[in-house]
Amino acid sequence: MAHVRDCEIITHREIAPDHRRMVLHAPEIAVEARAGQFCMLEVREGFCPFLRRPMSIERIFDDSVSILYKIVGQGTRLLAGLQTGSVLNVQGPLGNGFPIPAEEVRAILVGGGIGVAPLPGLAETLVARTGLAPEVVLAARTEAHLLCEQELSQMGCPVTLATDDGSAGFHGFADKCLRRLEPDADTVVYSCGPTVMMRAVHTVCVEAGARCYASLEAEMACGDGVCMGCVVETNTEHEFGKMARVCREGPVFDTRDIRWSAYDVR
């Protein structure tokens, strides 16, 4: 069940240029949240901006959750201006979250840019439930945009870095890096990042016979299944035919269910 609560900002720090981490005191949300779910944040009271902004839950603590965000526009700029100790209205947890295997299984997490945001919580859950730390591919444009390497390494995850410009780690894209890790039919891959990256990761997984899940983004209004503003095309039937709401049936989808060709530029 999603709650709507005023939550105090416990910490709020810059972690890279234009990227912040905010920890929110949110006991009811924390107790119900699962890795991969998200919250809708009211960045300012009133009508401007009118809509809440969706943000993944990065990590889940006893009575708080963290979010990791990139400043891209009006809403995130307002968010960045909020001081520790101030209060933010938060709706959550929302969405389905990542499926977690019951048994010990090789898992590889692939995060591109700010898409890494839900992966620390997922890594923690996998360690707790399966006893095995997942491997992680962290990809970004340049070294300065690589996020969460330290946190994921501290959880015991072997982390492989990839940058578009070669400034750190593997020189190239995340999917090439994933291919070098040789996933197979016994591997489960989780990805979050730019659509083009998740689609390329899906292709690698199809070729390898690996299971693959992607956390999709879509512009959202209600965040809770009502407005139909966030639908994506799928290959299987959902409540409204071959369409699914990113906020309700997602944001995490089996990548074989996503109609990737619908993203082609027409």
Please choose, out of 135-143, 160-168, 183-191, 218-226, the segment that lies near ligand FAD by the rule CB under 6 A. 218-226
Asked if 75 touches ligand FAD (CB under 6 A), the answer is yes
Closer to ligand FES by Cβ: residue 144 or 227 = 227
Beta bridge partners of 135: 108
* Exposure string for 160-198, b = 16+ CB within 10 A, e = fewer: bbbbeeeebbbeebbbebbbebebeeebbbbbbbbeebb
DSSP 122-165: HHHHHHHHHS-PPEEEEEESSGGG--SHHHHHHTT--EEEEETT
Tokens of 182: 């040789």
Q: Which of 31, 196, 206, 228 binds ligand FES (CB under 6 A)?
A: 228
Q: Which amino acid is at 220?
A: M
**Among ligand FAD, ligand FES, none, what does residue 228 contact (CB within 5–8 Å per kind)?**
ligand FES
Any residues with CB less than 8 A from the CB of 259 and at least 6 apart, and which?
232, 233, 234, 235, 242
Work out how close the CB of 92 gets to ligand FES at its nearest, in angstroms, rounded to a whole number.
13
Give dist(CA 20, CA 69) in Å, integer: 5
Q: Which of 29, 30, 55, 178 binds ligand FAD (CB under 6 A)?
A: 55
Q: Which of 220, 232, 244, 258 binds ligand FES (CB under 6 A)?
A: 220
Closer to ligand FES by Cβ: residue 24 or 230 = 230
**Among ligand FES, ligand FAD, none, what does residue 222 contact (CB within 5–8 Å per kind)?**
ligand FES
**Among ligand FES, ligand FAD, none, what does residue 172 contact (CB within 5–8 Å per kind)?**
none
Give dist(CA 23, CA 65) in Å, integer: 6
Considering only CA atoms, which of 77, 67, 174 is closest in space to residue 118? 67
Segment 142-201, which members bind ligand FAD (CB under 6 A)?
none
Site of interaction with ligand FES (CB under 6 A): 220-223, 225-230, 245, 247
Site of interaction with ligand FAD (CB under 6 A): 38, 49, 53-56, 67-70, 72-76, 114, 117, 217-220, 251
